[in-house]
Chain A
């Protein structure tokens, strides 16, 4: 896929090249040294967490899991540009954004294992449960953003989908509704170039996914999704515009997942070449940002090792907490269907309560 500048119908943004050199100083985001280090900390942490999660899924200690290695810049750079009061509607792969936005990691693990408590996001954490129906989060995002506008709150709704998801009707309806209502929403497309086995060229003849914003009449931009500073800069601009009443935007992050689509038996060697995988390994978002920080004297091997240790411990603790969570009961599932149970469901509850010995 060409990433050549100039020929695209939408702007393209890169700040760091693959060697960590600043190639676009005008768009260098205004981040303090501590924030730059925090970005790196979160990316390294997420890489280690992903590697551990893949192993845990193989061991059967986690359930459904969609790997994220390679997409750290897209995920973490964009979430870092939001405020705590902003509301995130994640897709099923977007667990890191949800966790960095405040969802406890052990609940993410419970979601993976298929436990209801995984979706009981704590009050004050502005995240929805991960969305399995590809595109549904986009139309809901328009609604959340409209709520903020109607209430006069200076909050932004942010949602994510993948390249394949841009072919859904709900993708288009979501950005189009947001445009028509001029609401504070930021729509992010993580183009990792494959929807399971289907390459993006089989999704659309459009040269970029960002240009799909034109159909909704909203701004669209394609960014180097492996460049955390570019992702942050583009998202910050979109979030600021939305917060100040400037309406929604679409951001396409060009990236790549190093691992399989999910841990449910997908084998990427069936549809991706070694050459392509090698090409993208050279664009690892952690490598270039590490080089950038090291050159500024902001990152050392000790820093890196400390984060790795921290991540491993956090995963272990979260796993312990997830595994210590009491089993669900059928009666408790029945109880969570409605505020007040209808008579028929109450009768069914009695049947299952008897089965449970209550």
Chain B
């Protein structure tokens, strides 16, 4: 066991998979000699060579198309999109090509690709670096979407993603890269995709979150417990597609109330799908409507307005109180 930041855990997972399977290739803009703009791929090219870990020209569609071509010839590509806000450049290759390859070919070809991209607010990035665009992928059949919130989860989920024989989008929240350390096993281990984690037990309301909002929800739940005496149960989804509705329903059967907290705008992200599935599977257990605690439906804020725009623990507490009184 070692104390690792999330970025170290990600680096560790890539290292282990590069060592385990010589079909694993890591590539993108500045991931080679430079070790990545966040050091996620630090030391990997030196260890595995330029055939396994390499830089590409600055073109996201080219990167994603390269991954598709390599994948259908037997490689296991792990391309990086430098910031998730640049995903639009590559969206055809991700959504129209990689995600559809197995289906279009009736199983003749498949794309075991893990796209990695940093995203998320709170670190005052310039425009189109921090946007939460995961909802776009959620609406794309054929691709799984993973968003870890801890170093431990990041390593296990990334190893599982790389070993998955279908495309996975692995989203790394920038604010979580170095914000804390956690005990992470040195050896390889996996965490199944599509399985959520109850990170705080509670009996009064269920808080469903992912990414950085897991930590915001935990802080809110702890403060709220002190002031109200009520206990929120916090679920870290870890994978937003496929969604672990069983864990959510189990919690709601206990708490009878729920809110969803996300960093994406009200009509973006995963919240609407989560609530739709709760309505399908747990409506008779609910004592009130499921609320969304989110930023408003504006373009991602200018850096100086980030702290007011992204849900804070106080906004989550207000949402919890509102949900309790409906």
- Interface positions of B from 93 to 128, Cβ below 8 Å from A: 93, 96-97, 102-110
Q: How far is the CB of B89 from chain A (nearest CB, A)?
A: 8
Contacting residue for A173 out of B61, B104, B108, CB 8 A: B61
Does residue A169 face the partner (Cβ distance < 8 Å to B)? yes
Task: Give the interface segment out of B66-74, B252-260, B286-294.
Answer: B66-74
Docked pose: A144 CA to B65 CA in angstroms? 9
Does residue A349 face the partner (Cβ distance < 8 Å to B)? no
Contacting residue for A142 out of B51, B66, B96, CB 8 A: B66
Q: How far is the CB of A16 from chain B (nearest CB, A)?
A: 35
Task: Give the interface segment out of A28-36, A47-55, A225-233, A335-343.
Answer: A335-343
Docked pose: A128 CA to B70 CA in angstroms? 13
- Interface positions of B from 53 to 88, Cβ below 8 Å from A: 56-57, 59, 61-62, 64-75
Residues of chain B within 8 A of A186, CB atoms compared: none
Does residue B166 face the partner (Cβ distance < 8 Å to A)? yes
Task: Give the interface segment out of A19-27, A133-141, A264-272.
Answer: A133-141
A136/B92 in contact, CB under 8 A = yes
B65/A173 in contact, CB under 8 A = yes
Does residue B165 face the partner (Cβ distance < 8 Å to A)? yes
Contact with B along A216-260 (1 / 0, CB 8 A): 000000000000000000000000000000000000000000000
B194, closest chain A residue (CB): A342
Contact with A along B127-154 (1 / 0, CB 8 A): 0000000000000011010000000000
Q: How far is the CB of A198 from chain B (nearest CB, A)?
A: 21
Docked pose: A176 CA to B58 CA in angstroms? 10
- Interface positions of B from 217 to 264, Cβ below 8 Å from A: 241-246
Does residue A204 face the partner (Cβ distance < 8 Å to B)? no
B109/A128 in contact, CB under 8 A = yes
A139/B64 in contact, CB under 8 A = yes
A176/B68 in contact, CB under 8 A = no
B62/A144 in contact, CB under 8 A = no
Q: How far is the CB of B79 from chain A (nearest CB, A)?
A: 10
Docked pose: A150 CA to B67 CA in angstroms? 13
Residues of chain B within 8 A of A338, CB atoms compared: 102, 142, 166
Does residue A116 face the partner (Cβ distance < 8 Å to B)? yes
With A136-B97, A344-B242 already in contact, the answer to whether A150 and B51 are too (CB < 8 A) is yes
Residues of chain B within 8 A of A83, CB atoms compared: none
B164, closest chain A residue (CB): A339
Contact with B along A176-189 (1 / 0, CB 8 A): 11001000000000
Docked pose: A333 CA to B74 CA in angstroms? 24
Q: How far is the CB of B156 from chain A (nearest CB, A)?
A: 18
Docked pose: A116 CA to B62 CA in angstroms? 27
A140/B106 in contact, CB under 8 A = no
A146/B102 in contact, CB under 8 A = no
- Interface positions of A from 108 to 125, Cβ below 8 Å from B: 116-117, 119-121, 123
Residues of chain B within 8 A of A157, CB atoms compared: 69
Q: How far is the CB of A155 from chain B (nearest CB, A)?
A: 9
A119/B246 in contact, CB under 8 A = no
Contacting residue for A143 out of B59, B67, B103, CB 8 A: B67
With A136-B65, A176-B62 already in contact, the answer to whether A147 and B166 are too (CB < 8 A) is no
Does residue A170 face the partner (Cβ distance < 8 Å to B)? yes
Residues of chain A within 8 A of B57, CB atoms compared: 173, 176-177, 180
Contacting residue for A139 out of B65, B104, B164, B245, CB 8 A: B65
Top-10 shortest CB links A-B: A143-B69, A139-B65, A342-B242, A147-B73, A173-B62, A120-B106, A143-B66, A144-B69, A140-B69, A119-B105
Offer 20 A-B interface pairs, CB within 8 angstroms, sorted by A: A87-B73, A116-B106, A120-B108, A121-B105, A133-B96, A138-B65, A139-B61, A139-B64, A143-B66, A143-B68, A144-B70, A144-B72, A146-B70, A147-B70, A148-B73, A170-B65, A173-B59, A176-B59, A343-B242, A344-B245
A: residues with CB less than 8 A from B are 87, 116-117, 119-121, 123, 128-129, 133, 136, 138-148, 150-151, 157, 169-170, 173-174, 176-177, 180, 333, 336-339, 342-345
